[in-house]
Amino acid sequence: MRIGHADLSIRSMPASNAVAAALEVEPGSSLLGIERVVYSRDGAPVLFEALNYRGDAFQYQLRIERSKR
């Protein structure tokens, strides 16, 4: 299978009781929520990820390379 593209959504969201307990924060605390869907070259979804991060323990780093044409 060859990967075609991925869609990524990043948003602020309140911590549910279960997530708050796992991340050791108060319920309702602001978290960074990331959802990613990876698609094959023919457009079929092949992977879904939902991640929650504490706002005080997150670093975002990105490398963007120019397309070689």
Domain boundaries defined on the chain: 3-54
Q: Is the pLDDT of residue 69 over 80?
A: no
What is the tens place of the pLDDT at every residue in 2-46?
Answer: 999 999 999 999 999 999 999 999 999 999 999 999 999 999 999
User: Do 19 and 27 form a contact (C-beta atoms < 8 A)?
Assistant: no
CATH architecture group of domain 3-54? 3-Layer(aba) Sandwich (3.40)
Report the distance separating Cα 30 and Cα 49, nearest Å.
Answer: 19
Q: State the chain's mean pLDDT as an integer.
A: 93
Quote the pTM value: 0.73
Q: Is the pLDDT of residue 68 over 80?
A: no
User: Do 64 and 38 form a contact (C-beta atoms < 8 A)?
Assistant: no
Residue 35 CA: distances (Å) to CA of 49, 53, 68, 69: 6, 12, 28, 30
